[in-house]
Structure 1
Amino acid sequence: MSKTNAGHFFEDYRLGQVFDHATPRTLTDGDRALYTGLYPTRFALYCADSFARACGLPRSPVEDLAVFHAVFGKTVPDISLNAVANLGYAEGRFLSPVYPGETLSARSEVIGLKQNSSGKTGIVWVRTSGHADDGRTVLEYCRWVMVRKRDPLAPAPETRVPTLAEAVPAPGLVVPERLSFGAYSDVLAGAPHRWGDYDVGELIDHVDGVTVEDAEHMIATRLWQNTARVHFDTGARDDGRRLVYGGHVISLARALSFNGLANAQIVAAINAGAHANPCFAGETVHAWSEVLDKAETRRADVGALRLRLVATRGPAAPGDLRGEDGRYRDHVLLDLDLWALVPT
């Protein structure tokens, strides 16, 4: 009997199927340092204990997207080991800060299935939650992924396409219990622009770019224990190229957004997201944002900005997203809709 596991293929999934994912992950200060080394992140709340304490937190937490990557990585062996591509996200909420020394685990439920017309692949929708070792849920999100079939002639699972919310409603955003921006320092944060300084419809060019290297994106993907073959194995794709993990592009774009959104300290929700085109080593990632909405929170000193964060292959004019046919332009790598918490 074989003791190895080739992973799940599309015909292996069933609606309602639940996975308690293997290998809990303790996040450490080493993970935080490596995250900073891989991405040009400079958001003060995640860089300095003194800044975090001035904002009411006990110390600097682990960056929100690092928590997302750690939880996401747990799901890969069960959900996307045989993926062609990760397609999108919805209904993502960050529910509690995570601090170094805490251990995260993940659980996913299959909420949707649809075989593609070719009969060779299908789309799997899952709802994933990340849990700390004290039992609290720190993150939840939905994603959908295109997965290969083991046997193209195998019967397709029951079809169901889930209905997902267009956006997390502002009242559903979680402001960390102890967070306070009453003594917030614009000088230490790096920019004077607060919640009231942004207008709906405003476009922000984040100016800078970062060239992706094979070694870096593979180190990042290993850091999150993402085992999808397309990121490491040149034989996993017909073109022999290693696909950059979409989360790597997300973190690059988020880090680049500091230039223009330095006070958007906390990612509170991921409303939607699409990896519009593949990214490969040697390409330079740029980013721009659009302010989609603004909302008050239950805290007078904390506002929320709904942002469209777009990553592009090379510099692109803010707003240049789709062609006349409605499809993403070839240079668009990522279209991410998120809520961020900002001092008022």
Structure 2
Amino acid sequence: MRMLYLILLFTESLQLQCDKKHITQHVGGEINLICYYDHRFRYSKKYWCKGNSGNTCTILVDTNSKTDATHRSFIAEEGRGLLRVKVKDLTLDDGGVYWVAIDKMYADVMTSVNVVITEVPVSKPMLRPLSSLEDGSTCRGNPLTVRCGPTEGTGVDYAWYQRTQHNQFVLQYSSDLYLKCDMLREDGDYYCTASNGMSSQQSDVLSVKVLMPAERGCKYVVTLLGQPFYDCEDKTSTATAKPAPPTSRQVTMTVHSDTTKRSLPINQTDPHPFLSRAWTGVPCWYTLLRWGSFVSLLIVLCVIVKCTKGRRKRAKRKRRACTRVTAQLAN
């Protein structure tokens, strides 16, 4: 009896064969299956069904009529002895045992296919503020929502972490981080993780500098790599957070919290114009002293040169007079 069963199974395998026996796909993907059958069954009905047993499986679609209500399954003749099965937009519920079968009197010809559906691995999550960072709203104590989300991934679970100078802990399990005054007591870094059954990824760091902690009317600056931020000290300019030099750990940009240092207005009048700085940045009295010393030096040099020339002329006249006297005495 066992031998007869093996013979029948071998005979059926010759009558119907598919190019895959095991298929692994991710959510959102599709199944493409090519099967070959004996040309004697060219005009027989072929069908695609799901179930652990070929005798009790549920028919999803056949070559005569489509029975799949969602229209995601497809089976069709591709030529003499060639059959194609296709299932698109896969979900986790699509995993299981399937059967490609040929309708035959007394006993259908069937071959099984095992399908495994997995989650799509998550990519690196991106942080996106839901309101602009360059309008200075955080300088007025307004709340800010930052959303974490990967570009790829299914069945994603989120977690937000806070890292301070003293410790690190899980803040919440959600995709959105809501920053508000009553939770900002000190400076800290925030980042999120996105994970599923296939992989886990961590986002860039969101840096929060608390300038004035308070339950109401706090003042803080949020910086995020590649995002513009408002300088609460300057109150006139914005900047963009840039990548830090490559190190073993990422360094985030911070904004100085010393709000007492202010630059003087450029149109302020100096009460002592003589002591004020010139265009070159040097005091006027120093400039006058320097040029006066230079002129005095020139005068001294001119006097020395003039005296030296006069002394030489007198020496020449004396030599000439001595020469004449000597000539007269010789005559």
The TM-score normalised by the length of structure 1 is: 0.19
Computing the radius of gyration over CA atoms, which structure comes out larger, 1 or 2?
A: 2
Higher relative contact order (CA 8 A, sep 6+): 1
